[in-house]
Amino acid sequence: MDYSSIYQLKYHMPKKEFKEGLFDLVFKEAKNKEEVGENKYIQIPKGVKSIGNYTFTGCKSLTSITIPDSVTSIGDSAFENCNSLTSATIPDSVTSIGYCAFYNCKSLTSITIPDSVTSIGYCTFESCNSLTSITIPESVKSIGIGAFAYCKSLTSISIPDSVTSIGNFAFCNCKSLTSITIPKQFESEINEIFKYVDLSLIKITCI
C-alpha cells in the first residue's frame, strides 16, 4: 500500500506498521489514535504527498507542526480545533489548502501562505482568534466564503490584484482591522466581504 498520504497512514496502516512504522514517525510516542492529542509537536516525514481530511482534527495539545516540501495538498479540516497550535510552516510545494483546514485554531498567531497556493477555501482560517497577520501571495486567485471570518485579532489585510473572486463574509467580524487593501473590482462588494466590520473606522485602499 502507498503510504504517501497521512490519511492512509492513520486509517489503513496494518497493525505491525501501526505500532512500529511510519505512524510513529508522525506521531512520535503515540501508540494509538486516542493518544495523538497529547503530543505537542508533530513532524511529518519527508515523502508524504498529502495530509488527508480531518487528519489532526481535535489534537488539542499540538503546538507546532512542520510540513515537509513533499506535501502538495492539505485536506479539509486537517487541523481543525487544534486549539494550542501557535505556528504552522507551510512549504512552497503546497498548492491546495482545503475547507476549514485551520478552523478554530485559537492560538495561531501568524501564518504565511506560500506562493504556490492558488485558492484559499471556505472557512479555512475561520475563528483563528489570535491571528494578527496574514500574507496573501499574488498567486492566489480566489478567497472562499468565511475564509478569515471571526479572526478578531487581525489588524490589517492586503488582498493582491491577482484575486478575482472573494466569497461573502470572507472577513466577517474581523473587528480589530484598521487597514484594508483590496482590488478596486470588489469595491461594491466590500460590505458583504467585511460583514459586521465598521468600515468607517478603517483606512481602505483600492488598488
What is the Cα–Cα distance from 39 to 118, expressed in whole angstroms? 31
> Looking at residue 5, what DSSP letter applies?
B
Do the bridges between strand 156-158 and strand 142-143 make them parallel or antiparallel, or are there none, so unpaired? unpaired
The reported pTM is 0.82
Q: What is the pLDDT of residues 63-100, one digit of tens each?
A: 888 888 999 999 999 999 999 999 888 999 999 899 99
Number of Cβ within 10 Å of residue 37's Cβ equals 16
E strands along 49-116, which residues? 50-51, 64-66, 73-74, 87-89, 96-97, 110-112
Q: Which pLDDT band holds residue 30 (cuts at 50, 70, 90)?
A: very low
Grid look-up 492539505 returns 74
pLDDT computed for residue 23 by the predictor: 45
- pLDDT of 17 strictly over 50: no
Q: What is the pLDDT of residues 153-194, one digit of tens each?
A: 999 999 999 999 999 999 999 999 999 999 999 999 999 999
| Chain mean pLDDT for the chain | 83
User: Which distant-in-sequence residues (6+ apart) come within 8 Å of 145 by Cβ?
Assistant: 122, 123, 167, 168, 169, 170
- pLDDT of 13 strictly over 70: no
pLDDT computed for residue 187 by the predictor: 94
Could you tell me which residues are beta bridge partners of residue 134?
111
pLDDT computed for residue 4 by the predictor: 54
Task: Determine contact, residues 118/95, Cβ cutoff 8 Å.
Answer: yes
Task: Determine contact, residues 65/94, Cβ cutoff 8 Å.
Answer: no
- Burial class of residue 88 in the structure, from the number of CB atoms within 10 Å of its CB (0-12 exposed, 13-18 middle, 19+ buried): buried
Q: For the residues 105-130, what does the mean pLDDT come to?
A: 93
What is the Cα–Cα distance from 162 to 180, expressed in whole angstroms? 16
Spatial CA neighbour of 204 closest among 152, 151, 159: 159
Q: For the residues 6-28, what does the mean pLDDT come to?
A: 43
Q: Which pLDDT band holds residue 21 (cuts at 50, 70, 90)?
A: very low
